[in-house]
Structure 1
Amino acid sequence: MSRPSHHRRTALAAAAVLSLAIAPIAAAGPANAHAAPDTSKVSVGYMTQWGVYSGYYTKNLVTSGAVHKLTEIDYAFSNIAPDGTCASADAWADWQKPIDGANSVDGTSDTWTQPVAGNFHQLQELKKAYPDLKIVMSVGGWSESTNFSAAAATPESRAKFAQSCIDMYINGNLPGVAPGAAAGIFDGIAIDWEYPNEVGNGNPHGPQDTHNFTLLLAELRKQLDAAGAAAGGKHYLLTADTPSGAEKVSKIEVGPISKIVDWMNVMTFDFNGPWETTGPTESQSNLFPSPFDPAPRPTRSNPYPDNGEISVAEVVANYLAHGASPRKIAVSIPFYAHGWTGVAPGPHNDGLFQSATGVAADVNYNQIAAQPGTVHHDPFSRAAYKYDPATKTYWTFDDPQSIRDKVLFIKALGLRGDMTWSLEGDTADGQLVNAFGLAQ
């Protein structure tokens, strides 16, 4: 971009100072109360249940090379039924849809007589070929969090929820299928409650959610440990996808949660986006704050300003300050772009921090190259964005360069690793996951 080179040097120096400022907090993080410290790095890739309807199959993880860069696949999503139990959101995609040989991991077609087909069988094949890869069922998400509050409400409902999830996904007891037919596919459970004591997608919620979320995770940890003991000492993973915004973070018990879960996938994306219909154009996942960002800064009198400035570094610092150990934090990276239209070039002819007249439909990273414009990298925030003065369109996303900056940050602070939503947004040759997977 067109700013003088001394600004880049200043930005890099500021980034280094900020990392050093956070490091002492990281070093003081609490120990895991349940096991010896695990410092292994993780790279978690989300794979969606519905990808099979748009041509993204488990096999794509092999052909793109992603399987060699990831330590874990999180499968999205399991629903929660009105009675507070785990339930498939789409049994056809999960274990009923036959996958043909051309799209199968091992090259053989599913048959109508096999008990488990669909995505679950492809995940079985993937595990057979790559036995070190962990596969985790994610429960909830934006569209499936409606019944979390009720499921977490009482000791009985929490026990019922945990038992149902373990029975279905760990023990492999799927409805209408022979008992145990899907056993051995999943190595754990991820809880993606969006969000405790927040309305989310129109969800029931209340202040009781804050502590009940912790209790729900504790119940799951207890039952997963019991299942692991019964399986001969296996450790089943328990992770949580947790918010980035300071107001939402204030409604979960970060310190206690970090002692229960193996780690938290902190959702460090969607800082800005099309819900801000007139802009200003900003980054949805910037690593550091920019001194030129017009967004309001939090103050003592207004700690949660609407569309306030936020960055990955500040989110991580907030988690550390609230008692999370650095090895319990994984930074999340988007494989998609948000966009605005009607954006003036601005003083640097790059569209950054400008007002907009409308929004562009989200696109995956693999569609960004087809969008007109020039890719820029902000030397202050370390964010990638694309702007086209002819169409006055601005896109915010992550690319290999911005991801490598985040991986360096993860390593410098001793964080657990990285997570992405979601793998089908990458290119066929895995441009993003090849940068993302460096956290291993």
Structure 2
Amino acid sequence: MRRPLLHLFASAVLAAGLAAVAVPAQASVTQPEDRFKRVAYFIQWGIYGRNYHVRDMDVSGAAKKLTHVNYAFGNVGEDGTCSSFDAWADWQRPVPAEQSVDGVADAAGQALNGNLNQLKKLKGKYPKLKVLISLGGWTGSKYFSDAVLTAEARAKLASSCVDLWLKGNLPGLPAGAGAGVFDGIDLDWEWPGSEGNAGNVIRPEDKRNFTLFVAELRRQMREFDSKSQLTAFLPAAEAKIDAGFEVRQVFGLLDFATVQGYDLHGTWESRTGHNGNLFTDRKDPNPVKYSVDATVKAYLTRGAPAKKIVVGVPAYGQGWMGVGAADRGLWQPAAGPAPGTWAAGNEDYKVLAAKPGKRYYDLLTGAQWLYDGNEFWSYDDPATLLVKAGYIRLKGLGGSMMWSIDGDDGKASLTSALYSVLR
């Protein structure tokens, strides 16, 4: 489909959504009246090769359009405590003036440097912006199961997380040097009770222990600060939901949860597919058919309140090469992952937006893809995100979450599309 048709469809969805759940147009992104969460992950390691810094969220205009920034990632170590994956990036690296939110370089001898100090400066500029530390991630979830196995272990892990990230007692710095950076904790255990990254510890009792840990962490967080927020990132696959999460109980303990709305298909598969289609594709030849809508329904039927479901959207695409021309490359066998800047089969939106090739839009699935006769890329652009935002609004869901903000372009086009609807 041509781009104008998708925009017409998006406009119809948005008009219906705005009429159904109207809010004052003048409401500010940072005002308490803000109904929808607009979350974006900031990746710790982005300051290196990607050269993406906390300041860039401000310069692009993204920061003023977000309600939450999730800082990825904090570690859950083999000893069952919270720690940093990269203390140099987190709080040790002196940030030069040209990379600083306020244009002021970190001074020699100051206690808190690095990304954490920049996040604190960003919050100073946008006082209603919440920053959460995300624990785990795909490569950092190996020891979660051990760390929550017993009541004593759960209390130990919760205490260490509160002490390190909320109280700000960072190793090698004066007590409380990191206080005030984080407003809460986001749990990214991938996945309780089912396979995640190779080598992860997995137990059937993870499902119950996750709930017990969330309850213990919530208790300790409230003792420290009753306003601190607790969230979690949850999977799309129903098998993983049922293996690892007592949905009704967990949502009752969380402020909200972000649910996986991407990597629904990817280059671990031998044929092309949609990265984050909104609705199920009837042409999907796979026995299990994924979509954002199917995932949302899976959580709703298990007792999750709609207003606490925050839908994940990608700022990147999944790509294959050696793809034949049948059906414009969709659901076709591929030779392997397409070349990517940082990893094969993966590319940022800001790169894909300028990539040559023909773009196709499917109004029935809310998906688009790029195909040039060899490479096939499935990714979201501002038009598809307008449709997703309209869906979120119409369904009375909690908002959107982007993985990850460094993939957006210099004008924050993806962030702005979501903000235009979800406020």
TM-score, with length taken from structure 1:
0.86
Q: Which residue of 2 aligns with 1:407?
A: 389
Give, in angstroms, the shift of residue 120 of structure 1.
Answer: 0.5
Give the CA deviation at 1:436: 2.2
Partner Cα separation in structure 1 for residue 67 and residue 368 of structure 2: 26
The corresponding residue for 1:223 is 220
Percent of aligned pairs sharing the same letter: 42
Q: Which of 241, 248, 256 matches 1:249?
A: 241
What is the match of residue 204 of structure 1? Answer: 201
Structure 1 stretches (4+) deviating beyond 3 angstroms? Answer: none
Match of residue 121 from structure 1 = 117
Give deviations 1:164-211, integer Å, cap 9, x for gaps.
111111111000100011111100000000000123112011101000
Distance 1:416 1:222 in 2: 23
Partner of 1:75: 71
- Are the equivalent residues in 2 in contact too, given 1:65–1:430 (CA < 8 A)? yes
Q: Distance in 2 between matches of 1:50 and 1:290?
A: 35
Q: Which residue of 2 aligns with 1:142?
A: 138
Instruction: Deviation per CA, 1:83-118: give whole Å up to 9, x if none.
Output: 111000000000000110011001011123010100
- CA RMSD, aligned part only? 2.3
Amino acid at match of 2:61: G
- Which deviations, in whole Å up to 9, do the C-alpha atoms of 1:193-234 show, x marking residues without a partner? 000012311201110100000111011111111111xxxxx4
Mapped pair 1:375 → 2:372? no
In the other structure, the counterpart of 1:213 is 210
Given that residues 266 and 332 in structure 1 are in contact (C-alpha distance below 8 angstroms), is that contact kept between their aligned partners in structure 2? yes
- In the other structure, the counterpart of 1:356 is 334
The DSSP-based 3-state class of the residue aligned with 2:326 is: coil
Residue 166 (1) aligns with residue 162 (2)? yes
Distance between the aligned counterparts of 2:372 and 2:78, measured in 1? 47
Residues 239-286 of structure 1: CA deviation (Å, up to 9, x unaligned) = 00010111101121111101000011001110100000x20x210110
In 1: Cα distance, 2:39 partner to 2:354 partner: 27
Q: Tell me whether 1:385 sits opposite 2:385 in the alignment.
A: no
Q: Whole-Å Cα distance in 2 between the matches of residues 93 and 59 of structure 1?
A: 14
Determine whether 1:282 maps to 2:273. yes
The secondary structure found in structure 2 opposite 1:402 is helix
Matches of 2:422 and 2:78 in 1, distance apart?
39
Deviations 1:335-355 (Å, cap 9, x if unpaired)? Answer: 1111011111214xx212222
Q: Tell me, in whole angstroms, the C-alpha distance in 2 between the residues paired with 1:403 and 1:423.
A: 14
For residues 260-409 of structure 1, the aligned pairs below 5 Å read 260-276=253-269, 278-279=270-271, 281-296=272-287, 308-347=288-327, 350-360=328-338, 361=344, 362-389=346-373, 392-409=374-391
Range with bigger deviation, 338-347 or 162-171: 338-347
SS at match of 2:102: coil
* Alpha-carbon distance in structure 2 between the residues aligned to 1:402 and 1:214: 34
Secondary structure, in 3 states, of the residue corresponding to 1:380? coil
Offset of residue 60 of structure 1: 0.2
User: Per the alignment, in what secondary structure is the counterpart of residue 190 of structure 1?
Assistant: strand
Query: Does the residue aligned with 2:329 lie in a helix, a strand or coil?
Result: coil
Provide the secondary structure at the position in 2 that maps to 1:250: helix
Equivalent in the alignment of 1:27: none
Alignment partner for residue 236 of structure 1, among 223, 228, 234? Answer: 228
Distance 1:248 1:259 in 2: 19
> Which TM-score applies when normalising by structure 2?
0.90
Q: Which residue of 2 aligns with 1:64?
A: 60
Cα shift readout 1:33-84 (whole Å, capped 9, x = no counterpart)? xxxxx99310000001111113101000011100111001000000012111
Q: What amino acid sits opposite 1:290 in the alignment? A: D
- Residue 219 and residue 39 in structure 1: after superposition, are their counterparts in 2 closer, same or farther (change >3 A)? farther
For 2:286, the aligned partner's letter is: A
Aligned to 2:422: 439
Report the secondary structure of 2:319's partner residue: strand
Distance 1:72 1:132 in 2: 9
Task: Determine the C-alpha separation between the residues in 2 that align with 1:204 and 1:326.
Answer: 31
Give CA-to-partner distance per residue, 1:273-315, whole Å, 9 cap, x none. 0000x20x2101100012222222xxxxxxxxxxx21110010
Contact 1:39 1:327 in 2 (8 A): no
Distance in structure 2 (CA, Å) of the matches to 1:370 and 1:382: 21
Q: Give the match for residue 23 of structure 2.
A: none
**Correspondence 1:79-94 to 2 at 5 A:** 79-94=75-90
Structure 1: which 5+ residue stretches go unaligned?
24-37, 229-233, 297-307
* Residue matched to 1:304: none
Match of 1:47 among 42, 47, 50: 42
- Post-superposition offset of 1:374: 1.4
CA distance in 2: counterparts of 1:430 and 1:370, whole angstroms? 15
Question: What residue in structure 2 maps to residue 32 of structure 1?
Answer: none
Match status 1:178 vs 2:162: no
Structure 2 regions of 5+ residues with no counterpart? 21-32, 339-343
